[in-house]
Amino acid sequence: MSGDPPLIVLPDHSSGLLEVTRTVLATPGLPDVALIGGLAVTMRVSAAGAGHRATIDIDLVTVDAEPEAAEVLADAHHADPQPLIIDEVKVDLIATSAVTDDELDGLGDKDRLFVAGHRWAFEGAEHSRLTVQGADPVAIRVATPAGLVATKSHAIGYPTSRRRATKSASDLLDLFRLVDLYDRDSQVSGELRGAPGGIARIIADVAQPQSPPTPAAATTKMASASPAPIEVGDVETVIETFVDELRST
């Protein structure tokens, strides 16, 4: 229909996740949600005409509501709320609420990036239509590339020990692909400089160690998760430029 968001065709390996996403969105009483995480990155990378890694779970940001989104889903699908498993797929939900600058000023970098970054990603998410070949589209709000960089930067900079052991390479790859594909005209870095809470500076601090003096190490790590070759020179240039843009005034 005229006026509908563009239809983004995801790789076939996203088929199962897309169907679970459809099931989640059809749940009665579900608060407003937006897609983040690996599936959202796959959508953004696919929209730019590139291939990306497979992912195995669904990550959503939502509003801080009563009852919580996790409770609504758990009750409707006869599942435990933590971890929430629907049709054998883990669904992670992060509740957000509006936050003032004064409230953010009382937070350290870790919590400031989490609170402001996830809320900003939720508020800025765009209406999208996702599909795989032969499937009906799924309409869902998806975080912008800049919003995904904000949430991914928290995962990279402040991971749990389990995430560091299992998702470090894929998180780095997601960040690199988003910046490489969407920051060529400084759009992502420009949007992040305007984000609340001064999170651009925190993201620059997180991203900086992935550029010199360790571009080779970062490239080797990302290569283990990437379906396509990655050149160390590209990583160095992309991340250095991104960090410089984030720090510019």
Dist. CA 147–CA 192, nearest whole Å: 8
> What pLDDT does residue 2 have?
57
pLDDT in tens, 134-182: 999 999 999 999 999 999 999 999 999 989 889 999 999 999 999 999 9
Average pLDDT over residues 86-103: 95
The total number of residues shown for the chain amounts to 249
Contact indicator for 153, 202 with CB cutoff of 8 Å? yes
The confidence band for 210, taking pLDDT boundaries of 50, 70 and 90, is low
> What pLDDT does residue 212 have?
46
> What pLDDT does residue 1 have?
53
Q: How far is CA 201 from the centre of its chain?
A: 19
Above 60 in pLDDT, residue 191?
A: yes
> What pLDDT does residue 215 have?
82
Dist. CA 79–CA 160, nearest whole Å: 24
Average pLDDT over residues 37-50: 96
The model scores a pTM over 0.85? yes
Average pLDDT, the chain: 94
Q: Which residues contact 10 (CB under 8 A, 6 or more apart)?
A: 18, 39, 42, 43, 46, 130, 131, 132
From residue 154, alpha-carbon distances to 184, 216, 246 in Å are 22, 22, 16
- Give percent of the chain with pLDDT exceeding 70: 97
pLDDT in tens, 52-91: 999 999 999 999 999 999 999 999 999 999 999 999 999 9
CA angle 45, 51, 56 (to 5 degrees): 80
Above 80 in pLDDT, residue 209?
A: no
> What pLDDT does residue 87 have?
97
The confidence band for 208, taking pLDDT boundaries of 50, 70 and 90, is confident
Closest CA to 11 of 48, 64, 53: 53
